[in-house]
Structure 1
Amino acid sequence: MKREKLENSLVKIKRIFMGMQGTDGLLFKLLTYGLLIGIGFVYLYPLLYMGSFSFKSLDDLLNPLVNWIPTEFYLGNYEKANEVLNFFSTLLETLYVTVLPALAQTAVAAVIGYGFARFEFKGKKVFFVLVLATFIIPPQVTLIPRYIFFNELNILGSLQAFLLPAAFGQGLNSAIFILIFFQFFRMVPKALEEAAQIDGAGHLRIFLTIALPMAVPAVIISFLFSFVWYWNETYLAAIYFGDQLTTLPLQLQKFVATFQKMFPAEMGLSGNQLNEGIKMAGTVLSILPLLIVYFITQRWFVEGVDRSGITGE
């Protein structure tokens, strides 16, 4: 009897820690949640650090007793950062040079992806490989020839330097979006399009009224990723736009130099000295629009990732 009770107790303990199938036990859950909390902390720590230090006054920054929670809700850092970044006008200019190319790139990628998925033509596989090769080739390889080409077209210093490649399927990472639409349109049943053809619908009408509405998750994913990539692009933007156009990330790169010009350091004026709180406030302002866009569109974003197969299926 004692041996049976001992065995039953061991079985119960094993079920508690290991579960019935090995994936529903306490040990597995602890490992899973511990891993998720660790990964989440790695991603959230920079945001928490920026948010905390951006509200610290100079006294809080110099006080070793003040670590994460400021003694007061200090907004002076954001006032200085707003002046240095010229936030609202720069934000409008950033949206101008990101939203339009992202829309053009999404629309063109949808058309190209649908063409590869639904039509058979000579050299289709070769063209598809060439499209994918544009993503494999580093952009630094084509930077100089493209710069010379844009200079001959006289589009340097204008939005056309971003918009023109996007309109011809050669925007930032366009091959990824073409591949997303290609895979998504292949999953759409051909019977729907064949029924529309029987009713007299042409290819353009089928694409606009049947295929594209069913590919809304792919459209959302492509536009959001394209928007973020154009927003964060500073290398090409600095080369193509020069001093004619600017973005928040570009202004953030010049933050220290701009601050020193606007607020020259003077003896006895500590408010004119650049500190970590002002830098963090400038960083928060530069990423704040992206965070707002994500929080507004996160439901559609998650649905699009789930349905478009961008996870690598």
Structure 2
Amino acid sequence: MENRNKRQFDRHYLRARRWFFGMQGTDGFLFKLLVYGLLIGIGFVYLFPLIYMGSYSFKSLDDLLNPLVNWIPTQLYLENYKKANEVLDFVPTLLETLYVTVLPALAQTAIAAVIGYGLARFDFKGKKILFVLVLATFIIPPQVTLIPRYIFFKELNLLGSLNAFILPAASGQGLNSAIFILIFYQFFRMVPKALEEAAQIDGAGHFRIFFTIAIPMAVPAIIISFLFSFVWYWNETYLASIYFGDALTTLPLQLQKFVATYQKMFPAGMNTGINQLNEGIKMAGTVLSILPLLVVYFITQRWFTEGVDRSGITGE
């Protein structure tokens, strides 16, 4: 009787232990609870600003002043977006932003692919030193080279035009170009040399091999490089304000001047606060400024995930 009770106790103990800890320690209830708890916590940290912006952007002035209204507005108030659209001059500014970001991103991706392929496939004297110098351009803070680069661009009459972004990107010195060169370098090193050797036997030259074999196989690296470059150029406000001045503008630049522009366009009356800038209008302007990036991400999410997986990128 005692042996049977002991066996039943051991069986229930093993079953409970297996349920809590799993067979390998990574498939039990406690491990899953810890993992999902961390994921929910990290996800909340990232989603909270978006939820906050979305909620407050639809609040009227009465909802903002009402302490009983917290997350859910009492009505779908679109006047905030109407005023934010006027202040940002959204559609023309969006087109100008795409002009400022897409062209340098394309140039930077193309030249990074060429440089990465050359470093991965050709051996020449001083290659390692050149590679170290390329990576050093990412380590050196951009503030160190800002003044000499500004003087150099001024002497070449590049200020006030997109050439201040295009020419550095086309010469491998765009925003964080070293990272993209490294991505292509690592990717092309993983491509079997037997494919290129077979093409050389058939009489193909280096340019044909690059465009017909290397580039089609490097689509994941191209997608990753272009998307990251696009986002970095989109978010760049410091260099854009210095190089472009008043000649070109972007949505992030307009967002920086949102308060001053709003006060000029909608001056508050002497005895009324109808046109007074509030939190809801600010949040609406912020949502409009990041909306194109969110749309781009949702459209390219599948290719972006596959590109990260196939190119071996794990983080920045």
1:264-283 matches, cutoff 5 A? 264-283=267-286
Out of 162, 167, 170, which is 1:164 matched to?
167
- 2:155 equivalent among 145, 152, 155: 152
Corresponding position: 1:79 with 2:71: no
Q: Which residue identity lines up with residue 110 of structure 1 in the other structure?
A: A
> Counterpart of 2:45 in structure 1: which amino acid?
V
Matched with 2:69 is 66
Aligned-pair identity in percent equals 83
What is the aligned length? 313
Give the match for residue 118 of structure 2.
Answer: 115
**For residue 120 of structure 1, what is the amino acid of its counterpart?**
D
* Residue type at the aligned position of 1:53: Y
Deviations along 1:21-66, one digit per CA (max 9) or x if unpaired, are 0001111111111100000000000000000100001111111111
- Displacement of 1:73 in angstroms is 0.5
**Alignment correspondent of 2:228:** 225
Question: Per-residue displacement from partner, 1:148-205 (whole Å, max 9, x unpaired)?
Answer: 0000000101000000100000000000000000000000000000000011110000
SS in 2 for 1:271: coil
- Residue deviations 1:3-23 (CA, integer Å, cap 9, x gap): 221111111100000000000
Cα drift, residue 309 of structure 1? 1.3
- In 2, the alpha carbon distance for the partners of 1:85 and 1:127 equals 44
How far, CA to CA, are the matches of 2:144 and 2:172 in structure 1? 18
Residue 94 of structure 1 corresponds to which residue in structure 2? 97
- Among candidates 200, 211, 215, match of residue 197 of structure 1: 200
> Which residue matches 1:211?
214
The 1-side partners of 2:81 and 2:39 are apart by 33
1:21 aligns with 2:21: no
Distance, in Å, in 2 between the alignment partners of 1:269 and 1:159 is: 43
Letter in 1 for 2:134: V
Residue 228 of structure 1 aligns with an amino acid whose one-letter code is V
Aligned residue for 1:296?
A: 299
Partner of 1:272: helix, strand, or coil? coil
Label 1:298 to 1:267 Cα distance change in 2 as closer, same or farther (>3 A): same
Q: Using the alignment, how far apart are the partners of 2:272 and 2:143 within structure 1?
A: 45
2:235 is aligned with 1:239: no
Which digits, 9 at most, give the CA deviation of each residue in 1:230-254, with x for residues without a partner? 0000010010001111000000000
1:9 to 7, 12, 18: 12
CA deviation after TM superposition for structure 1 residue 311, in Å: 1.1
Relative distance call for 1:58 and 1:293 in structure 2 (3 A) is same
In 1, distance between residues paired with 2:105 and 2:78? 34
TM-score for the superposition, normalised by structure 2? 0.98
Match of 1:287 among 287, 290, 299: 290
Scaled by the length of structure 1, the TM-score of the pair is: 0.99
Whole-Å separation in 2 of the counterparts to 1:9 and 1:260: 71
Structure 1, unaligned stretches of length 5 or more? none
Query: In the alignment, does 2:252 pair up with 1:253?
Result: no
Superposed structure 1 runs of 4+ greater than 4 Å apart: none
- Distance in 1, matches of 2:94 and 2:274, equals 26
Q: Out of 265-274 and 108-117, give the one that drifted further.
A: 265-274
**Residue number among 36, 40, 48 corresponding to 1:37 in the alignment:** 40
CA distance in 2: counterparts of 1:191 and 1:197, whole angstroms: 10
List per-residue Cα deviations over 1:284-307 (Å, max 9, x = no partner): 000000000000000000011111
Which one-letter code corresponds to 1:22 in the other structure? G
Q: Which amino acid aligns with 2:179?
A: I
**1:193-218: per-residue Cα shift (whole Å, max 9, x none)?**
00000111100000000000000000
CA distance in structure 2 between the partners assigned to 1:312 and 1:258 by the alignment: 38
Query: What is the Cα deviation at residue 271 of structure 1?
Result: 2.5
Deviation at 1:312, TM superposition (A): 6.0
Amino acid across the alignment from 2:300: T
